[in-house]
C-alpha cells in the first residue's frame, strides 16, 4: 500500500515561471492537505481539499496560488509567477476522514527553489 | 500566531537517556498530535491524544496532556541514535477550519 506520493522531489524555477506540484494521496484517502515549510520552521497550513472541492483555503495566498483535487488524478498545487519568497518545502498529507481527528499521512515533500 | 510551541528548540542527549519535549498551545483543542520529521523527509505521525485523555503510551513514547495548563509533553525513553529528528506537536484549532496547526519543533540529537 503505497504512501502519499509527491513529485517532483526537487523543482527549480526562475522568477516569473510557474510551478506545479503534484500529490497522490494514499489509496482510499479522499482528504488532502497542503502545507509549506520554511527552513527551521514548522509547517504552515495552506489548503484542505476533498475530491473536486476546496474545503478551506484560508492559509493560501490570494494571488498566484491555486489548488485542485480532480475526480481523477493527483492533487495539484500551482504557483504562478514564482518569486524568491516562494522557495520552500511543500508537503502534502492525506487522511481517510474529515477534520483533524485522525492522523495525517505525509509525503516526502517537493523542495521548490526559485532562482 | 503560533498555536503550538515546542520547548526546547533543540536538545542533545546521550544514547540511552530519556528525552522530554514540551508543547504549549493557546486555544481549546479536541486533540493534540505529535509528529517526527527526519531530515529531508515528510512528517510521520507518532501519537494522538484526545482532550479528555491525560496520558498515552506507545512503545517507548509517553505523551501527557494538561488542558488546564494548555500543555503537552512527549517523553522518549531509552533513546537511540535513530531517534535523532525534529519533533512537532500539532493541534486541531488555530489554523484553518480543518487543518492542523504545527509548532516550530524541537530538534533532538542523540549522541552515540
pLDDT grade, residue B44 (50/70/90)?
A: very high
B99–A106 CB contact, under 8 Å: no
- Say yes or no to pLDDT of A57 above 50: yes
pLDDT grade, residue A14 (50/70/90)?
A: very high
Question: How far is B105 from B84, CA to CA, in rounded Å?
Answer: 13
Lowest mean pLDDT, pick from A6-10, B9-13, B75-79: B9-13
Indicate the DSSP class of residue A26: P
Cis upstream peptide for B16 (omega within 30°): no
pLDDT for position A97: 76
The Cα of A6 is separated from the nearest Cα of chain B by a number of Å equal to: 10
Vertex A42, ends A41 and A48: CA angle to 5°? 135
A41–chain B Cβ distance below 8 A for any pair: yes
Question: Which has more confidence, B67 or B97?
Answer: B67
Q: Averaged over B35-52, what is the pLDDT?
A: 94
Question: Which has more confidence, B24 or B95?
Answer: B24
Find which of B41, B96, B97 to mutate to test the A interface (most A CBs within 10 Å of its CB). Answer: B96
- Say yes or no to pLDDT of B12 above 80: yes
Task: Work out how many CB contacts closer than 8 A connect A with B.
Answer: 77
- Say yes or no to pLDDT of B1 above 60: no
A48–B101 CB contact, under 8 Å: no
B98–A100 CB contact, under 8 Å: yes
- Say yes or no to pLDDT of B95 above 80: no
Q: Averaged over B83-93, what is the pLDDT?
A: 91
- Say yes or no to pLDDT of B45 above 90: yes
- Say yes or no to pLDDT of B3 above 80: no
Q: Would you call B42 helix, strand, or coil by DSSP?
A: coil
Cα–Cα distances in Å, from A8 out to A5, A32, A109, B31, B51? Answer: 9, 17, 8, 33, 38
pLDDT grade, residue B94 (50/70/90)?
A: very low
Please report the beta strands in chain A, taking only residues with DSSP state E, as ranges in sequence order. 5-7, 10-13, 19-24, 31-37, 43-50, 53-56, 65-68, 75-79, 88-95, 105-106, 110-114
Q: Residue A60: beta bridge partners?
A: none
Chain A residues in contact with B88 by the CB 8 A cut-off are 42-43
B43–A33 CB contact, under 8 Å: no
**Tens digits of residue pLDDT in A60-112:** 999 999 999 999 999 999 999 999 999 999 999 999 876 667 889 999 999 99
Percent of chain B past pLDDT 90, that is, above it, reads 72
**Which residues neighbour B83 within 8 Å (Cβ) at sequence distance 6 or greater?**
B19, B76, B108, B110
Amino acid at each position: 500500500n503505497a504512501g502519499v506520493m509527491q513529485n517532483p522531489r526537487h523543482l527549480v524555477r526562475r522568477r516569473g515561471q510557474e510551478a506545479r506540484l503534484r500529490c497522490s494521496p494514499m489509496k482510499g484517502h479522499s482528504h488532502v492537505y497542503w502545507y509549506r515549510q520554511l527552513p527551521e520552521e514548522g509547517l504552515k497550513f495552506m489548503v484542505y481539499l476533498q475530491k473536486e472541492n476546496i474545503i478551506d483555503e484560508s492559509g493560501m495566498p490570494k494571488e498566484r496560488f491555486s489548488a485542485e483535487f480532480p475526480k481523477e488524478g493527483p492533487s495539484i498545487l500551482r504557483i504562478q509567477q514564482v518569486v524568491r519568497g516562494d522557495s520552500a518545502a511543500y508537503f502534502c498529507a492525506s487522511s481517510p476522514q474529515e477534520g483533524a481527528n485522525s492522523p495525517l499521512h505525509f509525503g516526502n515533500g517537493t523542495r521548490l527553489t526559485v532562482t | 500566531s503560533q498555536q503550538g510551541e515546542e520547548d526546547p528548540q533543540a536538545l542533545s542527549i546521550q544514547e540511552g537517556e530519556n528525552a522530554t519535549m514540551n508543547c504549549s498551545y493557546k486555544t481549546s483543542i479536541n486533540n493534540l498530535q505529535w509528529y517526527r520529521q527526519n531530515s529531508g523527509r515528510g512528517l510521520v505521525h507518532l501519537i494522538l491524544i484526545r482532550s479528555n485523555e491525560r496520558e498515552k503510551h506507545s512503545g517507548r513514547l509517553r505523551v501527557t496532556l494538561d488542558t488546564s495548563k494548555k500543555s503537552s509533553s512527549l517523553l522518549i525513553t531509552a533513546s537511540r541514535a535513530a531517534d535523532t529528528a525534529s519533533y512537532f506537536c500539532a493541534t486541531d484549532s488555530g489554523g484553518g477550519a480543518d487543518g492542523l496547526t504545527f509548532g516550530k519543533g524541537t530538534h533532538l540529537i542523540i549522541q552515540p
